[in-house]
Amino acid sequence: MRSSSLTRTLLPLAAVLAGLLVLASAAMAALGDRTLRQGMSGDDVMQLQRLVTELGYPTSRTGTFTSRTKSDMLNYERTTGLRVNGEIGPSEGRTIVRRAQERRDRMNGGPSTRSYDFGERTLSEGLRGGDVLTLQRLVTRLGYPTPRYGMFTSRTKRDMIRYERTTGLRANGVVSLTEQSVIARRAGHGQSSRDHVFPIRGSHSYGGSGSRFGAPRSGHSHGGQDMSAASGTPLVAVTNGRVSQVRYQAGGGGYYVVIQGDDRYDYVYMHMRESASSWVKPGQRVRVGQQIGRVGSTGSSTGPHLHFEMWTAHWFDGGHRIDPLSALKRWDAYS
């Protein structure tokens, strides 16, 4: 019969074509199109490896889902609250794409994505940020494991209610400032693990209105906050960052240093007793709390004090000064 011989010819051809289509679509697949598991390879596997690495969980980017990839995926799933099976299904794939996109948005973000310190705002469902991540880490460390991803999800809320109920806090899934300080204390979240610390390691005074940001000076307004302290009191980096300037200005700031914070602010310390070069070099990384100099009275100064400025990125390079007082008070409260 003619039609059956045609069928005999066409069916295998269709199977071959379908096979080619599968091959082609595997090569061009995007993450989220299919379930990825050990033994597979393709653009989507490469995309998965690249994005998970970008999200801070480095894995080798070969385009092949090896046993090493599987163990890295298990770790990623476990840590970030996905189903822990070492396979990346379509919805997990789309979640990873979205997380990477959100991370890029945060990196390029403006004021709406400013970072908050733990203890700076009330935390509740829908928020995200480093402070949410800190909360999740601390509560996990206290023996109440919860996914650590930096997003306050419904799962986070459920876990927080359980933690609050079990440990005698108000069980509403909203973590107030008071609760955050309780949690920080319980977890021994001290200076070394804080995002920011106060710049002066010793007793100090904020002075009066003349010390404030914006106070009138001859011909300009005061660009920072002055804080008096005994000469020689250690000065420390307020956050992790990089030393961008180590300078001297005879008629102005005296010995001064500029730190580019990883939080995307620049911090300026002036009138230091001697050059910061005794402690740090330009370009060097500094960690939060690391000594960078001492309080002094060099340059245009009437007594030992720290003149402290806070800039949006960067100092005399596209940025501008902002009033540092509320940040200083916050850091001071924890030191």
Site residues (vs Zn ion, CB under 5 A): 226, 307
Distance CA 99, CA 88 (A): 14
- Who contacts 201 (Cβ-Cβ below 8 Å, separation ≥6)? 233, 234, 235, 236, 291
Q: Is 140 helix (H, G, I), strand (E, B) or coil?
A: helix
What is the phi-psi region of residue 289: left when phi exceeds 0, alpha when psi lies from -120 to 50, beta otherwise?
A: left
| Residue closer to Zn ion (CB basis): 2 or 220 | 220
- Closest by alpha carbon to 163, among 150, 146, 181? 146
In angstroms, give the least distance from the CB of 222 to Zn ion.
Answer: 6
Nearest residue relative to Zn ion (C-beta): 307
In angstroms, give the least distance from the CB of 307 to Zn ion.
Answer: 3
| Residue closer to Zn ion (CB basis): 291 or 297 | 297
Structure tokens at 92: 């997990």
Structure tokens at 133: 């991540």
| Residue closer to Zn ion (CB basis): 157 or 307 | 307
In angstroms, give the least distance from the CB of 255 to Zn ion.
Answer: 14
Question: How many CB atoms neighbour CB 178 within 10 A?
Answer: 12
In angstroms, give the least distance from the CB of 272 to Zn ion.
Answer: 13
Distance CA 306, CA 323 (A): 15
In angstroms, give the least distance from the CB of 252 to Zn ion.
Answer: 10
Report the Cα 101 to chain-centroid distance in Å.
Answer: 15
In angstroms, give the least distance from the CB of 242 to Zn ion.
Answer: 24
| Residue closer to Zn ion (CB basis): 222 or 242 | 222
Place of tokens 């977890």: 187
| Residue closer to Zn ion (CB basis): 223 or 289 | 223
The amino acid sitting at 163 is Y
| Residue closer to Zn ion (CB basis): 129 or 223 | 223
